[in-house]
Amino acid sequence: MEASCDVSQFDEEVRMDSDEKLSAESCSRCENTCSNCMRPEMTPGGLCGNRPCGAGSNNGPGLRPNIRPGMRPGGRPNMRPGGPCVGRPCGGRPDIRPGGNCGGRPCGGRPNMRPDGGLPEGWRPSDGMRSNSVSSDMELHSEWNCGSRMIRDNEGRSMKVDCEGQTMSGCYMNDPMERLGDAFPPVMAYVPWQQWGDLYEPECGLKQGTIFKDLNYVFCGTRC
Amino acid sequence: MWTYIKMLEYPVDIKTTNAALAMAIMSQLGGPDGEKGAATRYLSQRYAMPDRRVVGVLTDIGTEELGHEEMVSTIITQLTKNLTMDEIEKSGFYQYYVDHTIGIYPQSAGGTPFSAATLQSTGDPIADLHEDLAAEQKARLTYDNILRLCKDEPDVYDAIKFLRAREMVHYQRFGESLRIMQDNLDSKNFYAFNSAFDKGSTCS
Amino acid sequence: MYSVERGAEMENMCREDLMNLIQSTNFTVIEISMYLDTHPECPCGLSAYEEYSRMLRRAVDIYERKFGPLTIYNVENDGSWDWVQSPWPWQKGCDC
């Protein structure tokens, strides 16, 4: 788009972008027509009414909509309030992992590094900064910040290498967010969408300061 | 437009006085991360927020913060109402007493009067929501610090624990608001323009 | 959850118990409202809102009829302005 302050043109572009996103990612999940999405507003993200409980519209392909077992859209909620009126347990001090030190050499500190890190013959950096590779390791690790990246060859094969172009192995973990493809570009903060879950009974919820069991993180700190 | 409801959001019923604790808790009324600042911040930011859902979050949380102002003021009032002159003189409270007797005045625990200099309303939705997320964390940790001070005052502890828990729920809502704003922007460049100000973009 | 039985129960509650019920139900409605601000299409949230807001309205109706107004919109005067007759919310505990 050329430099322009033409409001209608700008709105049109935003609207078209959003419509594409909605038809590709969101509207496929609902039976509703998306006539609302055609409104030339800056708020297209969820107007079509198909962000089910807690699901973001940026979900990558293959993510199931956020329907919990026992919950039918439009039906009675899976509320099941009750259970003990307590927050998350305190637990002990966490196991402090050595930050980012995963046994390999740290990124960025190596002298004479070429920008491409010496990629294997015939391989080049993949477009984009993330991969769609699925990690079977669901744990959250801090080790995945080693600067890994996807590379591909001319035949479309891709593989993951470390920041020096070496094949990934051992404790290099995939960032779980990578599994969501391009949904989470860098230079931005993301809080996960809350999913509808178990509630406390009102009296207990008031006592706890939230009715949502998922959001109840109690304070356990002590100091002599 | 607002309507007053003649009740507290959470019951506060403190029977014993504690001047030193009142001085500390005062920070959550008029201190740098207090409830008055929170309400002012969110209610002021609404007017530049382009998304109706996010305006809803700012309105409802800002309104709840007004209720928290009333709760914190109630805690301070009940902690100081029956202080004797001896208690006032022997605690750090006498400095406050000189200017305000046992009236409620919004200031930090250190005595700095409430100031809008502790908050921002930038007119940039992404920056404002990051400010809000940070504000909730700062208020949460201030309540953590107060909780360590009032372990032996169950009536106070109870109410502070409630207020602390609210910060985390608000954090979640502001996080979701940020996600909503991201949907309205170009994910290839979230910073290409200010959706609350720019009418166009030179980015192709 | 609101039910007819609960409604009858409310009628017989003392002032303090009914106020506790109103506070906890009001809080539940606040929580669900805020959730719905960012999840406006969530059927579970909408359904919970319906249930609890109905329960809250019922409890507030009973409270205001028996114990005095909670807002300036439902003041039943008996020769004087009832809004300022009952204690303010901070006037508890310390005999304020």
Q: A50: which chain C residues are within 8 Å (Cβ-Cβ)? A: 41
Cβ-in-10-Å burial (0-12, 13-18, 19+) of A31 comes to exposed
Phi, psi of B17 (to 5 degrees): -80, 155
Nearest to B7 among C30, C70, C96 (CB): C70
- Compute the count of residue pairs across chains A and B with CB atoms less than 8 Å apart: 116
Report how far residue B181's alpha carbon sits from residue A188's, in angstroms, rounded to the nearest whole number: 11
Search chain A and give the residue with CA nearest C44. A77
Q: Domain of C48?
A: 4-71
User: Is C87 within a domain?
Assistant: no
**Confidence (pLDDT) at A83:** 75
- What the block records as the tokens of B104 is 């409620």
Mind telling me how many Å the CA of B182 is from chain C's nearest CA?
A: 13
Chain B neighbors (3+ CB pairs < 8 Å): A, C
Q: What Å distances lie between residue A203 and B139, B166, C27, C66, C74, CA to CA?
A: 24, 15, 9, 22, 26
The confidence score (pLDDT) of residue B12 equals 97
- Percent of chain C clearing pLDDT 70 (strictly above): 91
pLDDT score, position A97: 40
Residue C20 lies in a domain: yes
Which pLDDT does position A71 carry in this prediction? 36
Is the Cβ pair A57, B183 closer than 8 Å? yes
| Rounded-to-integer distance, Cα A217 and Cα A86, Å | 10
- Tell me whether B173 touches chain C (CB under 8 Å): yes
- The lowest-confidence range among A57-61, A158-162, A203-207, B181-185 is A57-61
Chain B environment of A212 (Cβ under 8 Å): 169
Is C78 in CB contact (< 8 Å) with chain A?
Answer: no
Q: Which of A211, A214, A215, A216 to substitute to test the interface with C, most C CBs within 10 Å?
A: A211
Domain extent listing, chain A: 1-110, 127-180, 191-224
Q: Is the pLDDT of residue B121 over 80?
A: yes
**The tokens 């020769």 sit on which residue?**
C79
Please say whether the beta carbons of B67 and C34 come within 8 A.
no
First to last CA, chain B: 42
For A69, residues 6+ apart whose C-beta sits below 8 A from its C-beta are: A78
Instruction: Determine whether the interchain pair A4/B200 forms a contact, defined as Cβ–Cβ distance below 8 Å.
Output: yes
Nearest chain B alpha carbon to A88: B165
Q: Which of C21, C25, C31 is nearest residue A210 as measured by Cβ atoms? A: C31
Residue C83 in any domain: the answer is no
pLDDT for A74 equals 37
CA separation for the pair A113, A96 (Å, rounded): 30
- DSSP H/E element including A124: strand A123-125
Q: Give the angle B35-B75-C88 at the CA atoms, nearest 5°.
A: 95
Query: How near does any CA of chain A get to the CA of C31, in Å?
Result: 7
Touching check for C1 and chain B: CB below 8 Å? Answer: no
CB A55 within 8 A of CB A180: no
A123-125, strands of its sheet edge to edge:
A123-125, A149-153, A158-161
* Phi, psi angle pair for A184, to nearest 5°: -125, 75
Quote the CA–CA distance of A41 and A36 in Å, as a whole number: 10
pLDDT at site A92: 61
Asked, for residue C37, whether it belongs to a domain, the answer is yes
The answer to whether position C60 is within a domain reads yes
In a domain, C16, yes or no: yes
As a whole number of angstroms, the distance between CA A34 and CA A28 comes to 10
Is A212 within 8 Å of chain C by CB?
yes
Q: Which subunits count as partners of chain A given 3+ CB pairs below 8 Å?
A: B, C
What is the structure's pLDDT at A182? Answer: 72
Structure token digits, residue B116: 């809008």
The reported pLDDT for the residue numbered C65 is 94
The answer as to whether C85 is a domain residue is no
Q: Is A123 helix (H, G, I), strand (E, B) or coil?
A: strand
Q: pTM, whole model, 2 decimals?
A: 0.75
Residue B126 burial (CB count, 10 A): 19
For the residues of A148-212, what is the DSSP string, one character each? -EEEEETTS-EEEE-TTSPBP-TT----GGGGGGGGS-SSS---PPPPP--B--HHHHHHHT-SB
Instruction: Decide if B59 contacts B173 (C-beta within 8 A).
Output: no
What number is the ipTM of this complex? 0.94
Residue A119 pLDDT greater than 70, yes or no: no
The reported pLDDT for the residue numbered A138 is 39
- DSSP symbol at A219: -
Average pLDDT over chain A, rounded to whole? 56
Query: Does residue C79 fall inside a structural domain?
Result: no
> Are residues A72 and A191 in contact, defined by beta-carbon separation less than 8 angstroms?
no
Q: How far apart are CA A141 and CA A173, in angstroms?
A: 7
Q: What are phi and psi of A125, to 5 degrees?
A: -60, 140
B13 in C contact zone (CB under 8 Å): yes
Domain total in chain C: 1
With contact defined as beta carbons under 8 Å apart, do B201 and B193 qualify? yes
